[in-house]
Structure 1
């Protein structure tokens, strides 16, 4: 439990953002765990989350010029990560989009710095990859280059229905489609490692078995 990824999982659990039980996903699956980044909704937890994003990006070695946060969760995540990066000596600009274009003030759909150079897209998770695709289109339309996607948790989960599951996960599909790396602070393997480390706790043991079964059924 001494590396960044395990620290992130433990932090998410303690903050009530990563929960165990029975949850229905967007795909209609019954999942034994649920991750909701929207619950990082106070100053202290958001600041700590931003530290994880910033350090993960630095550790990745990816060269970048700015950050982009897709509406809506990505707006807070990108701005908080920019603050955390500045605190680590990496001052960088950021931008985000609004859902509807303004016809006054600065106008348009992009707010913040001008999209330029190599841009990292910051989001919480990748489900269907829709927000990433929209972000890539906006970045390229501005003449900039999407160079990576940084997310909090990679569920490492195949899409589709039972019997027709895709061979790769949504994260892998996005990476292959746009030929850019997708970096996560933590993933399903890290979650499983966390549960194994807490195996002496009977309550955690039941979740470990449920997560293992879910991983076998849907995981990549």
Structure 2
């Protein structure tokens, strides 16, 4: 998809809502990687009923299109928890796909039922991981370790936003690295290119210039 291609309704609604809520911001931001980014996306700000509804609808549609067979959605703590729960509901209501959902704790519970994972059991199950913004891929990799330790099988990952940046090696993207690590599909609702398309539709030339310059320096080659 190139920048001139129109956004889907879900993509437009999601970017509109993210910008209005402050989840998506344009300016100057220092990332954990040390890179100076012209935009920042904080999925934690998608915290209203309408926004989580749009987000879950988008995840569910992407998962249905992907067509992978799975039993459980896994959302890494903490942001992945509402994503997994809302998406499981959207899959049931909108696509007739009935699956469980689970999430991890930051620290294992040593009383009551104990354990590290809450929700649907993972042992012997096919598990699809949800995550928000793909930067380093660390959250998904930790989730993979947790799921495998519980006896589950990873069958793929679905992201909210792929920043489409090359990794530290300057050659491959984080998503490509993660695809190789998982051995399964890694797809996303939004990519950096979609944000640029949205800006072009708004005529925000200053932000477009900054985004294009950043992509020229750190972006993966466009298909």
Give me the TM-score of the superposition, normalised by structure 2: 0.89
List runs of 5+ in structure 1 lacking aligned partners.
none
* Contact 2:166–2:174 (8 Å) recurs in 1: yes
Determine helix, strand or coil for the equivalent of 2:155: strand
Would you say the 8 A contact 1:129–1:170 is kept in 2? yes
Distance 2:49 2:202 in 1: 28
1:36-93 C-alpha deviation (Å, 9 max, x unpaired) = 1010112222222111111111122222211011111111211111121121122210
Number of the residue aligned with 1:191: 195
1:24 aligns with 2:30: yes
Distance between the aligned counterparts of 1:11 and 1:102, measured in 2?
36
After TM superposition, give the deviation of residue 195 of structure 1 in Å. 1.8
Q: Which ranges of structure 2 fall in alignment gaps of 5 or more residues?
A: 1-5
Residue 155 of structure 1 aligns with which residue?
163
Aligned length: 212
Q: 118, 130, 142: which one pairs with 1:122?
A: 130
Asked whether 1:216 is paired with 2:216, we answer yes
Output the aligned Cα RMSD.
1.6
Following superposition, the deviation at residue 2 of structure 1 comes to 5.2
TM-score, length of structure 1 as denominator length: 0.90
Q: Is 1:50 aligned to 2:64, yes or no?
A: no
Residue 98 of structure 1 corresponds to: 105
- Match of 2:3? none
